[in-house]
Structure 1
Amino acid sequence: MSDAAQPTAAEVRAAAEAVKTALDRHLAAVERRSGEDDPAVYEAFNQLAAAAEAYDELLYDRYDEVTPFEIPTAEDSLPPYAGPEEPNAVSVLIRRDYAVAEPQRLRAHAQRVEAADYEDGGDASGTVHGALGILFGEFEPDEIASRHKEFGLEEGDSTLWVTAVEEPPEPGEWLEAPFEGVDPQRVLCRFDVSAVFDDESDDDDSAEADDLQDELGLDEDEDLEPLDADR
């Protein structure tokens, strides 16, 4: 890139300020989120990703430097979009996994629901599968997601796909097999949550620590100690 085509220092600074603003907006959206799939959080996420990408490009063009972070986007895990430019309808596919961490807590909540709904109570809450049926029949999925620990559940992976369709399907058309026939090239966007992302971050931190130990000439059994502020 020629010097004439390089961004100015002021442009790089403005892009950095845009990232700061996007960070504040994203945090505010997260603090006000109404549920796991709050569209305001997704919008703020996308704005933050766009601002960070613009800043990274300008920083590299101007100073031949890069940022130490990367915000994943839907394009990282999807083929190129090949659906209609102006979709007439969308389908939203959601999957959330849970482990039954505390069966007794789960059954206790189900028993309270049964007691409130039936004068003579019921016996479905006596089993884990019965208790799950009662709770998922009583509460919306977003409420269960936000209260999963209260119900004795432990979150696993989750994903949300927004796919473009030509026309809204006829009532009952896909009920027999709701998740079959999804075309990845019609996915407008997707959002994934997984502990594997945390594991990757931990691995990166561990690798950085190992590199630093090598650089300082420390043995494997020597830990890095924090600096004493009074020294």
Structure 2
Amino acid sequence: MSDAAQPTAAEVRAAAEAVKTALDRHLAAVERRSGEDDPAVYEAFNQLAAAAEAYDELLYDRYDEVTPFEIPGADDSLPPYTGPEEPNALSVLIRRDYAVAQPQRLLAQAQRVEAADDDSTGALASGTIHGALGILFGEFEPDEIASRHKEFGLEEGDSTLWVTATEEPVEAGEWLEAPFEGVDPQSVVCRFDVSAVFDDEPDDDELEDDLEGELDGDEDLEPLDVER
């Protein structure tokens, strides 16, 4: 950050005061809470997290220092559930991130699928990374790709799964243009997150897989089960 863009000392001091105020409000909300899922506590928690994060950023930008606190984001916890007690429908929202760790493996597997497709005509789509991804995700279910991602040259990133409840099923085709917009956090029944930030050390299986990958390289690709 340039000197011109740095926050002033007064701005850092104001952010620190905002943290103190948010701490007092959070403690007061906890002391007055009416139950385990009191929305006032939830709101005070988010305000405290936002104030602490802002202070941490300003402190770093101004003085190149950080706080000793790990500040959870407001989205890391769900608000109290206020959806229907007896839902008639549900939606499952899933996001999985991958890195293309081995492009040649990805291309080779897509070429195998394409070669087995009797209807394939014209230029080979498997010659590009985005074309290969389209072929593999068109051939295999997302859950199968998740369980076999290493075969496809992919490396797992973060993933999340949300189950939301509704009174009635959503009208067909209504949300296809924007599938993840308009989700009410208070309708989420449960949520499951998987992230590398939760892993302190790799387990033995991961270490063994990494070692085998280094020894084998890309020459010996696992066969794909392609059903047509």
For normalisation by structure 2, the TM-score amounts to 0.53
Q: Which residue of 2 aligns with 1:142?
A: 143
Quote the sequence identity (%): 85
Matched, 1:102 2:94: no
RMSD of equivalent CA atoms: 1.9
DSSP-derived class of the 2:126 partner? helix
Matched, 1:91 2:91: yes
Once the two structures are superposed, the pairs formed by residues 20-169 of structure 1 within 5 Å of their partners are 77-118=77-118, 122-169=123-170
Deviation at residue 171 of structure 1 after TM alignment: 1.1
Deviation at residue 119 of structure 1 after TM alignment: 6.1
Q: What is the aligned residue count?
A: 127
Distance in 1 between residues matched to 2:95 and 2:119, nearest whole Å: 34
DSSP-derived class of the 2:105 partner? helix
DSSP-derived class of the 1:150 partner? helix
Q: Which residue of 1 aligns with 2:206?
A: none
Q: CA deviation digits over 1:70-114, x for unaligned, max 9?
A: xxxxxx721110111111100000000000000000000000010
Q: Which residue of 1 aligns with 2:188?
A: 187
Distance in 1 between residues matched to 2:154 and 2:132, nearest whole Å: 12
Distance in 1 between residues matched to 2:119 and 2:194, nearest whole Å: 41
Q: Which amino acid aligns with 2:187?
A: R
Q: CA deviation digits over 1:122-159, x for unaligned, max 9?
A: 51100000000000000000000000001000000000
Distance in 1 between residues matched to 2:102 and 2:92, nearest whole Å: 30
For normalisation by structure 1, the TM-score amounts to 0.52
Distance in 2 between residues matched to 1:133 and 1:120, nearest whole Å: 14
Q: List, as ranges, runs of 4+ consecutive aligned residues in structure 1 with deviation greater than 2 Å.
A: 118-122
Which runs of 5 or more structure 2 residues have no equivalent in the other structure? Answer: 1-75, 203-228
Q: Residue 183 and residue 127 in structure 1: after superposition, are their counterparts in 2 closer, same or farther (change >3 A)?
A: same
Q: Residue 176 and residue 119 in structure 1: after superposition, are their counterparts in 2 closer, same or farther (change >3 A)?
A: closer
Deviation at residue 166 of structure 1 after TM alignment: 1.4
Q: CA deviation digits over 1:189-226, x for unaligned, max 9?
A: 01000010014x79xxxxxxxxxxxxxxxxxxxxxxxx
Q: CA deviation digits over 1:12-67, x for unaligned, max 9?
A: xxxxxxxxxxxxxxxxxxxxxxxxxxxxxxxxxxxxxxxxxxxxxxxxxxxxxxxx
Distance in 2 between residues matched to 1:157 and 1:175, nearest whole Å: 23
